[in-house]
Structure 1
Amino acid sequence: MSEPDAAAAPKRPLLPRLIHRFSVLILLVWLGLTAIVNLAVPQLEAVGKARSVSMSPSDAPSIEAIRHVGQVFKEFDSDNAVTIVLESDKPLGDEAHQFYGELMKRLSADTRHVAHIQDFWGDPLTAGGSQSADDKAAYVVVYLVGDNETEAYASVHAVRHIVDTTSPPRGVKAYVTGPSALNADQAEAGDKSIAKVTAITSLVIAVMLLFIYRSVVTAFLVLIMVGIDLGAIRGTIAFLADRNVFSLSTFATNLLVLLAIAATTDYAIFMLGRYHEARNAGEDRETAFYTMFHGTAHVILGSGLTIAGAMYCLSFARLPYFNTLGPPCAIGMLVAVFAALTLGPAVLAIGSFFKLFDPKRRLNTRRWRRVGTAIVRWPGPVLAATCVIAFIGLLALPSYKTTYDLRKFMPASMPSNVGDAAAGRHFSRARLNPEVLMVETDHDMRNPVDMLVLDKIAKNIYHSRGIEQVKSITRPLGTTIKHTSIPFIISMQGVSNTENMQFMKARMDDMLIQVKAMDVSIATMHTMYELMGEVIDNTVDMDHLTHDLSNITNTLRDHIADFEDFFRPIRSYFYWDKHCYDIPVCWSIRSIFDMIDNVDQMSEKLEYLVTDMDILVKLLPQMRAQIPPMINTMTIMRDMLVVWHGTLQSFYDQSDTGSKDPGAMGRVFDAAQIDDSFYLPQSAFKNPDFQRGLKMFLSPDGKAARFIIALEGDPATSAGIARVEQIKDEAREAIKGTPLQGAAIYLGGTAATFHDIQEAATYDLLIAGVAAISLIVIIMMLITRSVVAAAVIVGTVLVSMGSSFGLSVLVWEDILGIELYWLVLAMSVILLLAVGSDYNLLLISRLKEEIGAGLNTGIIRAMAGTGGVVTAAGMVFAVTMSLFVFSDLRIIGQIGTTIGLGLLFDTLIVRSFMTPSIAALLGRWFWWPQRVRPRRRAGCCGPTDLAGWFVPCCCRPTAHRPPGTGAMASVPVEPHQRCRRPTRRHPGRSTTPTIRTPPADATGKPGTPTRTRALTDPRPEGALRRASRTRRARIPRHRECHTGAHDAVSTAVRAPAGGAADPRRLRDLPAGTRAAGRAVPGAGIRVGQHRRRRRCRGR
């Protein structure tokens, strides 16, 4: 090797050189991009509301069943429903019914948001099934329009607006609750919690960064980087979601924000940790920048790809809870990785130029070296101890219980929870969340035969375990219709006869009353006959008088005619004068002439009256002659009625003697409510009340029957979910061998939906977990180039995941007494798989760099180099995720704390003890199929240029080369000097501290005093001096020689090739210098830790 080649600086990689050169431009580009994506599109929360999807699995059998029921009954076509609960402090009366009617009227008019109202309480026939036992509460189910969350939430808000704006009577309150109302409140609570949790997280991270770096400027710059990254991620996801690239959900927006904050903060800590380590090792700022990029870029890339890939595997899931997390979180992590690899180094380059990121203190790696040394010495016991700790968490897993009740994980002040609490005071939990079973066949079931089969289905389901109530066409109120048992029908035959006899007895009494009335009528007829004779006599007299009056009138008319002929000229004067109306005398005389004209009219009318009187005189005698026959007829009817009454009285006396309480048997069967002998006659189908029931429980064509089933206890539990298959089995058994055999059975409802979710979650967890594990193994293999190392990383992550979830069960269920929501397990597993391999990857990547010093030495150095950084990053990530506990959604809090516990366990146990102990136990097999050998130490087993305190035992003595003849100058070593170490325990050698003040520099500034140690050694004086034109380097206190019984730290100072450098202070060393035991061409300090026995093996 020539001297120019040895002295030449190593060539920098292209990417870090470009980032370092264009750091300001990169920062401006990121700032502009963040501003554009946040100003050009709405905020993430607004886009989440506009592009949200329904959390219900649309292809689940239960959801399809509910929709099919609505379509068959022509009522609704979605699974979106709410329950309106009416509660009063006294029994609901007419005012409550009026309020309810007004409410139903307004809801029915809103066809844009309301699809169907299941109005049981409005019909007296079924009102009892929707009213509480104390009559103080009632409910109605309202099916809404909307299949996705945006439309569904709009419908929920519309119904709430109608309920809030309808004035209830005094003492009556109306609440809107139900599944859709709970989901709407959940989304609202999640959106409101994002800002609060983000603010708390930022504050906590700022405090932790101040504690880690002891620098306000450093913490502030890190927060600035995280803020830019978070803004870019939020804006990018909002932009893509706004363009319908993917949909969002409440869980996606919440997890994305905190995951982005935690990951970007971790990556910043990784970079700053490696940068500070390089600066503490004496590298200048530019060299430390390249060292940082070389040591962390692949780790950040692998970590980001692992998280992004694992999150994207959720898109393979079927449940919207999971597949809506996949694309946004994966793309968000890709943006975070791209920002960490470009923006992070750019900000670091800019800040390092202004000396803003220089370490304020030296990191104490002594403790982590001791931990590494202990692991190397006792890997088996350390691994056993970590397995015992992990086993503590695993022991809690058998006690894991889950719940599907969303109410318990939302604030009690939410409107849906307030309404649910009101309903819980009067109804069981299952009454408001029933299961809906539909039996669909190919023929009309409105006949007595199929009614028997339908009642058998209801009876089988009702008598199975865990069922509280079944409503159907044969049980509209949840129990068998009264008076439909065969014993009751038989007993009712006698009851009918008895009732008929009672009716006949009443009618017989009416017959006596009628006899008395007829006697009165006969007497009245006799009186009328006598009075009619008098009327006839008077009428004849009137007829004579009328004739006389007519004659007189005619005579008067003739005399007046004579008078009128004489006075006609005078009369004409009065009628011709236009002013006659104005002259009283004229008008009076004219009125006399008008009266004379009326005499003519009166004469004519009297002629008509005379004619009518003559007719009346003829008719009245004829009418009087009809009364005697009528009297005779009524007398005969009275006598016959008396005879008929006597006959019926005899028959009644005989029947009453033989019928004593004929309905006793029917009343007993009704009271016992025994449904083994149900029968519905054909005549019942014509009953108007029964026809109203048919519309509620049978489809319009009669080919489908609906059953409403209420479970015992909460249907949103494992016990409630277990009843789903039981209900289906009972229905299938009931129709076996009947005319309905082969009918299609559909079941939907709360328990059925969660049953499908449970099965889908198991499938999704298996698919996403296997895909994520496979992807993580591939990424780890590509980075570590080792199958075993990748398997160890994934295996330890799985152990950490199981133990951390067990710890979560221990904390939440055993200590706090709160069951974990079903979503916690699945999401925690995927997220822990995604983020759990980061710290192991950083450790193993560093171990791969240090492996040249030996397997065990590499483990010690890797632990020392990454211990503080990984612990800080892990604590920040864990605390960030645990801050989800401040969210109003306790589900998010449980997920966050579970992930936080997993990260703490992974950081403090797995990465710190389990993984390195496994690596120490496996040795070189840990890197299989690679063949790993320690690199030959510089100057060992070959020519060396060591001119310092001592020469290792394996160094061969070589001929002395004059300084300047090459890079490999050395001094002769005597055989008796091998395997001798400058230790504090060696009596022949000692070090003497010396304070040296160099002369002032060119500007007149005095030199900085340095502390050195001179070695007292019996070797020749030349061996204690450096090569020509070199000076002794200052040995920092933390690099002084320390040793124990078996270990020692050896320090060697190498002379530069040209002999011109003055490595007086560590930060002034050339760019090629490396700490931690490498021999780098040029000049520098080499510090190595080794085992005495192994180093002396060559002796």
Structure 2
Amino acid sequence: MAKHAKLVVLAWLAVGVLVNTAWPQLERVANEHSVSPLPTGEVSPALASMKEMGKAFGRPGIDNAVIIVMHGDKGFDADAQARYSALIERLRGNTEYVTFVQDQLGDPRMRNNPVARKQVLSEDGTTWYAMAGLAGDLGTPLAQRAFRSVDDLVKQTFAGSATTANITGAAGTVTDMGNAALGDLPKIGAVTVVVIGLILLLVFRSWFTAMLPLLVMGVSLLIARGVIAGLAERGLVPVSSVSAGLMMAVLMGASVNYTVFLVSRYHERIRAGEALPDALAHACGSMTRVILATAATVAIANIAQLTARLAFLAAAGPAVSMGVIVAFFVVTTMLPATLSLAAKRGLGLPGSDRVDVYWRRMGVNIVRHPWPFFGVATVILLAAASFVPFMRPSFDISKVLPESAQSNQGMRTLNAHFPANSIMPQYLLVQASSDLRNPRALADLDQMAERISQLKGVGKVVGITRPDGNKLTQATLAWQIGYMGTQIDKTSGQVNADLRPQLERMSKLADVMSAMTNELGDGDLARLQQMMPQTLAMAKELEGQLDRYQSLISQMGTVAGMVDQLAKMGPSVEATFTALDAGRRWPRRWPNPPSARYNPTA
């Protein structure tokens, strides 16, 4: 290694330059080939239901939708309406990246519907919004390109206008989160390098020795980024938008640790009196196995992430593993070469060991008095762990984003002018094997909505039976009872009006029957009674003949109606003569004639 030290160092530097010039940068590759941060439908029933809902209601891409929030102090005036209409037309024309556009303000069916307009236009008229679905799964490169395309259309449409427009929603939040993470990586790296450098300077008390771990870390990071970008560009390894950040964090710690291991053993051998080449050889021989075991453990643990069902988590494993492997080779080859070249110039050598006595005395005290040290350490750990019960995990991603993020600005505008969670609600998908558009199914849906609204934490339930979140007035029991009473009242008056003439005719018929009974003799009534069976038989015979000649009767509709009416009068005639026969048995002079006792108006 000492004979070819310069060649080894130059070779590693050349590899770092080559992989970063031949292949694109890792951030660019991650934007173009990143996997979705969300699970697939097979893993997440919620996302599967969302896709089914979008397919059933003609809204493909509803799981990757953006909400375009517009706000103007002048309200939805002529200029705002014109720009809004222009934006809707541009979005609908962008068929490559936009899957659907929900335009309730411009829909002719919704213009005269105050409930529908209230959902997209604030009460003060200063804020309104539209929704659009994007192509691709949330967080994928296609979805990010679609978001950038829609963002450009929004900025072009409202440029120079008094109306401000921001894009929010799930797609906007994920995009802002990725942009914020990529923007923070340089800051995190700079802070990490400064802090590690100060710590190493305090430990080694040598500028050169403190810079060695940082040199190894920089070369390892440079080569690892290029290698991962090249492999991901060709689809050999998965990559996500956080792969670069995780790989950088793990690689920095690993490379510094491995460097400190080897340099510390190198200094120990020199203090033991060995020559510089021998001390370096012994340090490499003894520590390489330790570094290999440590690196293999970390690499295998991260490779195992490929078994994760969440693709976003599985994609981070290979990047971290390759970063650790690169760090191992750089530490075990370039670092010894660098130490060999530095030793010839008197650099990288150990200084006076001022803290050796301190650490030796500390070890002796711990061995002699283990329980006091154990107690102090336990108290410190318990004090640190005492904050765990007060931890409140949050799934609100917007809280971790900066206030200047576009999605946060849009969400603040929505929350200030619309009810909380009314724009981005939780959906409950109901599916059935039969048509739900019937009274019984609608009643069941309304009952389900009523019970859900009673759950703790549920503010409002909006559905087919509750368009505005409140129970329909026509569906309340009080309204139905009142409606039934009104109809019964109307029907009662109509019935009285229709039946009164019939009652009057029945009264007149009773008077006629009474008069006929008084005038007919016993012989006349007897003859009528004898003729009744014969008359009924003739009627029934005639009815049978009419049935046989039904086809002819169908052509003679008018005559058929009259004949059918005559045939049906048989029972009435029989009842009439039965009454007459009964009347014949009464005395000639009734004290109270039937007409006097039957009074329909009484």
- Classify the TM-score, shorter chain: 0.7 to 0.9
In 2, the alpha carbon distance for the partners of 1:399 and 1:211 equals 36
Decide whether the 8 Å contact of 1:308 with 1:330 is kept in 2.
yes
Q: Which has the higher helix share?
A: 2
The Cα shift of 1:405 comes to 0.8
Matching residue's letter, 2:94: D
In 1, the alpha carbon distance for the partners of 2:103 and 2:472 equals 20
Instruction: Give 1:379's aligned residue.
Output: 370
141, 160, 165: which one aligns with 2:131:
141
1:815-845 per-position Cα deviation (integer Å, ceiling 9, x unaligned) = xxxxxxxxxxxxxxxxxxxxxxxxxxxxxxx
In 1, the alpha carbon distance for the partners of 2:302 and 2:241 equals 16
- Please identify, of 81-90 and 367-376, the stretch whose mean Cα deviation from structure 2 is larger: 81-90
Name the TM-score, length of structure 1 as normaliser. 0.42
In 1, the alpha carbon distance for the partners of 2:207 and 2:385 equals 41
Instruction: Give 1:51's aligned residue.
Output: 33
Instruction: Give 1:294's aligned residue.
Output: 285
Instruction: Give 1:399's aligned residue.
Output: 390
Matching residue's letter, 1:38: N
Instruction: Give 1:38's aligned residue.
Output: 20
Instruction: Give 1:166's aligned residue.
Output: 157
Are positions 1:255 and 2:243 aligned together? Answer: no
Alignment map for 1:406-421 (pairs within 5 Å): 406-421=397-412
Instruction: Give 1:896's aligned residue.
Output: none
166, 170, 175: which one aligns with 1:175:
166
Matching residue's letter, 1:138: W
Decide whether the 8 Å contact of 1:86 with 1:137 is kept in 2.
yes
Matching residue's letter, 2:8: I
In 1, the alpha carbon distance for the partners of 2:440 and 2:31 equals 52
1:301-347 per-position Cα deviation (integer Å, ceiling 9, x unaligned) = 22212222232333332234422221110121111112212222222
> How many residues end up aligned between the 2 structures?
482
Matching residue's letter, 1:85: V
Identity %: 31
Instruction: Give 2:530's aligned residue.
Output: none
Question: Is the alpha carbon distance of 1:334 and 1:168 closer, same or farther for their aligned partners in structure 2, counting shifts above 3 Å?
Answer: closer
Question: Is the alpha carbon distance of 1:483 and 1:278 closer, same or farther for their aligned partners in structure 2, counting shifts above 3 Å?
Answer: same
The Cα shift of 1:60 comes to 0.7
Decide whether the 8 Å contact of 2:158 with 2:164 is kept in 1.
no
Question: Is the alpha carbon distance of 1:220 and 1:388 closer, same or farther for their aligned partners in structure 2, counting shifts above 3 Å?
Answer: closer
The Cα shift of 1:86 comes to 2.2
Are positions 1:305 and 2:283 aligned together? Answer: no
In 1, the alpha carbon distance for the partners of 2:64 and 2:401 equals 20
Question: Is the alpha carbon distance of 1:99 and 1:454 closer, same or farther for their aligned partners in structure 2, counting shifts above 3 Å?
Answer: farther
46, 71, 88: which one aligns with 1:62:
46
- Please identify, of 301-310 and 49-58, the stretch whose mean Cα deviation from structure 2 is larger: 301-310
318, 323, 326: which one aligns with 2:317:
326
In 2, the alpha carbon distance for the partners of 1:171 and 1:232 equals 49
Are positions 1:438 and 2:429 aligned together? Answer: yes
326, 333, 339: which one aligns with 1:348:
339
255, 260, 278: which one aligns with 1:264:
255
Instruction: Give 2:7's aligned residue.
Output: 25
Are positions 1:192 and 2:180 aligned together? Answer: no
Secondary structure of 2:461 counterpart:
strand
Secondary structure of 1:224 counterpart:
helix
The Cα shift of 1:486 comes to 5.1
Q: Provide structure 1 residue ranges, at least 5 long, that are not aligned to the other structure.
A: 1-18, 500-1099
Secondary structure of 1:476 counterpart:
coil
The Cα shift of 1:460 comes to 2.1
Decide whether the 8 Å contact of 1:82 with 1:179 is kept in 2.
yes
412, 416, 437: which one aligns with 1:425:
416
Instruction: Give 2:453's aligned residue.
Output: 462
Question: Is the alpha carbon distance of 1:480 and 1:103 closer, same or farther for their aligned partners in structure 2, counting shifts above 3 Å?
Answer: farther
Decide whether the 8 Å contact of 2:302 with 2:317 is kept in 1.
yes
The Cα shift of 1:354 comes to 3.3
Matching residue's letter, 2:65: A
Decide whether the 8 Å contact of 1:78 with 1:146 is kept in 2.
no
In 2, the alpha carbon distance for the partners of 1:55 and 1:243 equals 21
Decide whether the 8 Å contact of 2:69 with 2:166 is kept in 1.
yes
Instruction: Give 2:96's aligned residue.
Output: 112
Decide whether the 8 Å contact of 1:99 with 1:169 is kept in 2.
no
Which of the two has higher C-alpha Rg? 1
In 1, the alpha carbon distance for the partners of 2:420 and 2:399 equals 13
Alignment map for 1:728-747 (pairs within 5 Å): none
Decide whether the 8 Å contact of 1:68 with 1:77 is kept in 2.
no
The Cα shift of 1:206 comes to 3.5
Matching residue's letter, 2:10: L
Instruction: Give 2:327's aligned residue.
Output: 336
Alignment map for 1:466-477 (pairs within 5 Å): 466-477=457-468
In 1, the alpha carbon distance for the partners of 2:27 and 2:187 equals 13
In 2, the alpha carbon distance for the partners of 1:187 and 1:169 equals 28
The Cα shift of 1:81 comes to 1.3
Decide whether the 8 Å contact of 1:256 with 1:328 is kept in 2.
yes
Instruction: Give 2:548's aligned residue.
Output: none
In 1, the alpha carbon distance for the partners of 2:5 and 2:446 equals 79
In 1, the alpha carbon distance for the partners of 2:269 and 2:159 equals 74
- Please identify, of 37-46 and 343-352, the stretch whose mean Cα deviation from structure 2 is larger: 343-352
Secondary structure of 1:324 counterpart:
helix
Decide whether the 8 Å contact of 1:96 with 1:169 is kept in 2.
no
Decide whether the 8 Å contact of 2:9 with 2:337 is kept in 1.
yes
Secondary structure of 2:63 counterpart:
coil
Question: Is the alpha carbon distance of 1:428 and 1:302 closer, same or farther for their aligned partners in structure 2, counting shifts above 3 Å?
Answer: farther
Question: Is the alpha carbon distance of 1:53 and 1:444 closer, same or farther for their aligned partners in structure 2, counting shifts above 3 Å?
Answer: same
1:476-527 per-position Cα deviation (integer Å, ceiling 9, x unaligned) = 222233434454355457879999xxxxxxxxxxxxxxxxxxxxxxxxxxxx
In 1, the alpha carbon distance for the partners of 2:386 and 2:456 equals 32
The Cα shift of 1:169 comes to 9.2
The Cα shift of 1:370 comes to 0.6
Decide whether the 8 Å contact of 1:99 with 1:168 is kept in 2.
no
95, 99, 102: which one aligns with 2:83:
99
Alignment map for 1:634-649 (pairs within 5 Å): none
Decide whether the 8 Å contact of 1:85 with 1:423 is kept in 2.
yes
Alignment map for 1:669-818 (pairs within 5 Å): none
Decide whether the 8 Å contact of 2:158 with 2:165 is kept in 1.
no
1:255-298 per-position Cα deviation (integer Å, ceiling 9, x unaligned) = 21132122212222222222122222221101110231234222
1:679-732 per-position Cα deviation (integer Å, ceiling 9, x unaligned) = xxxxxxxxxxxxxxxxxxxxxxxxxxxxxxxxxxxxxxxxxxxxxxxxxxxxxx
In 2, the alpha carbon distance for the partners of 1:464 and 1:225 equals 58
In 2, the alpha carbon distance for the partners of 1:65 and 1:381 equals 59
In 2, the alpha carbon distance for the partners of 1:308 and 1:496 equals 80
Decide whether the 8 Å contact of 2:308 with 2:314 is kept in 1.
yes
Decide whether the 8 Å contact of 1:23 with 1:350 is kept in 2.
yes
